[in-house]
Amino acid sequence: MLDPKLLRESIDLVQQQLSRRQFAFDASEFSELEAQRKTLQLETEALQHKKKNLSREIGQAKAKGHSSDDLLEQANHVQKELSDNEK
């Protein structure tokens, strides 16, 4: 099994080594997939942060006796986006 860190940092070396073993490795496709993975990871982390902040705001609103319906709706929307990112 190949180390993902090695693939990210030394993709040309890995491609050369695999070609010596007559394994076809498409470095450009891997790079594209890696970029997509990074983008999704950043989006997911941002959504998790937003969800955490919304949860805190909901708790504060309820403690003060204010309506938190709009915050709950936002939190549900963020949760749906998180679920979509996991697919």
pLDDT in tens, 14-57: 999 999 999 998 989 999 999 999 999 999 999 999 999 999 99
3-24 b/e (C-beta count within 10 Å ≥ 16 → b): eeeebeeebeebbeeeeeeeee
Domain count, the chain: 1
- Residue 63 domain boundaries: 4-86
Closest CA to 26 of 10, 43, 12: 12
pTM (2 d.p.): 0.74
Is residue 75 a contact partner of residue 54, using CB atoms and an 8 Å limit?
Answer: yes
**CA distances for 6 relative to 1, 25, 41, angstroms:** 11, 14, 19
Q: Which CATH number covers residue 37?
A: 1.10.287.40
